[in-house]
Structure formats: structure tokens, C-alpha cells
């Protein structure tokens, strides 16, 4: 790794990353983390900014930090070393939260924090291929040791599948045009670099469209990243698992950065915060009462000051909920995983 352009060493995580909505996250987690012996799971550790703040603000709290990216774990581990045994890093995807807690002998936790999407580290490391602003290998894997790359997707998916992921995950209205050009281009030579993909996008999207709405490459790069890492499938499994990991009185706080993520979060929290009793019953049965309480009114956004200070906060949508009681069996059986004994 090379020093950053301003001379900072690349392992100095504290100067490379500004956590999004940090104070609001701490405020929302505080009522749960003030419990004696509280444990929090940072499901998307990244460079450890949120976890560092939690460990500093709540001196008795232990944090289990999950990340699928070995490089992020190494950077965060150095940053958080002063907290000793209060921090436990784990190489895992966050839908594995229950297995991780079982392996550590932790029956339930008081807090779960998810800061979704691509991390600052992954965007900053040019060779990871997440950024459309610099030429790099078409990789985009959050864990660069396993799985298919963006190049694999671009060079093997047919027009229909490419169109589907660009349309569904990138909300790209020129998806089919882009997909056809990708397939035509790879007949000459396989795509290997982000610069080649940007050239295809520039040729596929009308000039008038390219002048408005930000860089049009953002949509395709987002779609490929989501596909390569199975992000929505992971999130759909992780949300009920994370709720199941919470002790009564525990809180889950989730920061999403695009509508596809936020929709899944909203739906999962709404299931827990809504009565499951059939309509028209004169008395609501205890087993059908909500097991979550929403602690944010809709999705909260960053204010203008934060958006200016931290560009990554531009699109954030924050939601939070508190566990009121155990998940009813009839709901757990329909999707929420059961804790192993």
C-alpha cells in the first residue's frame, strides 16, 4: 500500500474515515448500551470509526466487530488495539451473526449497528475496482480472497441477466443498451479494467442524460458491486438474524445508502413493530403484539452541515428499533432464524 496523497500512512484508519451520523448513532444506541455488561455487534466494522466511538463513550461495553474484508479487519484492529479485550474482530459476513455469537458463547447482545454499502477503505483503494473515477482491475469483491469478480460477471452473464442486474440493482434505464454493448465488446476481448467499462457506459448513455444527475457510471458500478457481493441477499438474511440476536431492551441501528437497502430495512423493522393479529379481533392476543418499537420516525437523513462535512452522508437513510420481547414462534418460523441452544 502507498501513502495517501497528503502524506498520511494508509494504515492510519482514524484519519481516512469519517463515520456517518456518528453522534446520532451513539444517541440511539445509548439506552441499550448503558446496561451493565452490554455487548454490541458492529456488523460492518470497516475501519472501525463507529466502534471506536462506542468503546470510548461507553467504558464498560464490549464490541464484536464483523467484516468480510480482511484488509479492513487488519486496519481496524490496529486502530482499536488500545481497547484490549473489549474489542473482538471476526472475519465474517454479517448474516452469520448468530453463528458468531454462539461460537463466542454470547446468548444475546444489547446493540447491533449496520453501516451498509461499500466502505471508504474499499473506495479509496484504487486496485479494488470499486471506483469509476480511476482505472483499475474489475474486481469489486469486498472479500478479495473468494468469489466471482466484476470481470467474471461482465464476461459470462448473457444480455438478459446483465440487463436485469443493471435495471434492478442500479435502476439504470439504459440497462439493455449497456448490456448489449458489453456483450458485443467482450467478443473482441474480455473486459478486464474499470476504464473499459466506463468507456462502454459513455458510449451507451445519451450525452444529454450524462450531463445531469451525477456520473452515470455510478448506477452500473453500484449494480455490479451488489451482484458480486450478493449484498441484498445477505441483508435480507442478516436483518431477522440481527433482530433475533438482540436481548429484550436491545437496539438495532441501520444506515442504508440506496432505496433497495432501505426498503429491506423498513420492511424487516415494520414486521416486528406491527401487530400480527388478524384484523377484527376484539382483544389482541399477547402472542401477536409487536416485538419491536420503532425509535426513529421514518428514515432519518443527514443535515446540511453533515453533508458538507462528510460527502458519504449525502444519501444515508437511518432507521432504528428496540426489542420489546422475544420473537413470537409463529413469526420466527416464517423467516426469523432460531437461536441455537
pLDDT digits (tens, 9 = 90+) for 154-191: 999 999 999 999 999 999 999 999 999 999 999 999 99
Could you tell me the residue range of the domain that residue 65 belongs to?
Answer: 13-119+232-332
**Is 262 part of any known ligand binding site?**
no
Of 184, 199, 228, which residue sits at a domain end? 228
Residue 271's pLDDT is 93
- 129 appears as a binding residue in the annotation: no
| Model confidence, pTM | 0.88
| 148 annotated to bind ligand | no
Q: What is the CATH number of the domain that holds 178?
A: 1.10.150.170
Average pLDDT over residues 244-260: 96
| 3 band by pLDDT with thresholds 50, 70 and 90 | very low
Q: Does residue 33 sit in the same domain as residue 93? A: yes
According to the annotation, is 49 in a ligand binding site? yes
Q: Which of 111, 222, 215, 129 is nearest to 171 (CA)?
A: 222
17 is in an annotated binding site: no
Per the domain annotation, does 59 fall within a domain? yes
Report if residue 2 sits inside a domain: no
**60 known member of a binding site:** no
Do 323 and 251 fall into the same domain?
Answer: yes
Q: Is the pLDDT of residue 2 over 60?
A: no
For residue 119, what pLDDT band results from cuts at 50, 70 and 90? confident
What band does 60 get if pLDDT is binned at 50, 70 and 90?
very high
Check the annotation: does 110 bind a ligand.
no
Provide the domain count of the chain.
Answer: 2
Amino acid at each position: 500500500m502507498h501513502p495517501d496523497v497528503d502524506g498520511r500512512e494508509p494504515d492510519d484508519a482514524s484519519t481516512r474515515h469519517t463515520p456517518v451520523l456518528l453522534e446520532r448513532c451513539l444517541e440511539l444506541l445509548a439506552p441499550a448500551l448503558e446496561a451493565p455488561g452490554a455487548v454490541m455487534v458492529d456488523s460492518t466494522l470497516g475501519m472501525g470509526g463507529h466502534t471506536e466511538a462506542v468503546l470510548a463513550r461507553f467504558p464498560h461495553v464490549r464490541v464484536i466487530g464483523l467484516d468480510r474484508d480482511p484488509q479492513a479487519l487488519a486496519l481496524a484492529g490496529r486502530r482499536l488495539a488500545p481497547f484490549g479485550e473489549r474489542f473482538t474482530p471476526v472475519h465474517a459476513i454479517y448474516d452469520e451473526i448468530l453463528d458468531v455469537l454462539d461460537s463466542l458463547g454470547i446468548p444475546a447482545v444489547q446493540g447491533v449497528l449496520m453501516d451498509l454499502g461499500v466502505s471508504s477503505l474499499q473506495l479509496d483503494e484504487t486496485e479494488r475496482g470499486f471506483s469509476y473515477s480511476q482505472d483499475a482491475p474489475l474486481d469489486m469483491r469486498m472479500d478479495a480472497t473468494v468469489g466471482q469478480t466484476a470481470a467474471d460477471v461482465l464476461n459470462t452473464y448473457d444480455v438478459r441477466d446483465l440487463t436485469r442486474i443493471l435495471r434492478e440493482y442500479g435502476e439504470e434505464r439504459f440497462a439493455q443498451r449497456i448490456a448489449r454493448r458489453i456483450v458485443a465488446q467482450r467478443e473482441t476481448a474480455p473486459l478486464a479494467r474499470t476504464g473499459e467499462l466506463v468507456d462502454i457506459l459513455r458510449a451507451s448513455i445519451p450525452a444529454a442524460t450524462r450531463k445531469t444527475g451525477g456520473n452515470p457510471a455510478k448506477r452500473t458500478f453500484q449494480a455490479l458491486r451488489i451482484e458480486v457481493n450478493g449484498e441484498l441477499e445477505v441483508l435480507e438474511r442478516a436483518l431477522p438474524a440481527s433482530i433475533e440476536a438482540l436481548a429484550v431492551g436491545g437496539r438495532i441501528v441501520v444506515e442504508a445508502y440506496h432505496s433497495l437497502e432501505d426498503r429491506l430495512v423498513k420492511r424487516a423493522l415494520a414486521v416486528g413493530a406491527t401487530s400480527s393479529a388478524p384484523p377484527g379481533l376484539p382483544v389482541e392476543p399477547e402472542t401477536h403484539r409487536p416485538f419491536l418499537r420503532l425509535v426513529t420516525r421514518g428514515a432519518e437523513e443527514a443535515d446540511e452541515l453533515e453533508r458538507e462535512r462528510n460527502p458519504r452522508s449525502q444519501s444515508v437513510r437511518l432507521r432504528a428499533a428496540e426489542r420489546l420481547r422475544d420473537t413470537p414462534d409463529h413469526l420466527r418460523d416464517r423467516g426469523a432464524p432460531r437461536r441455537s441452544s
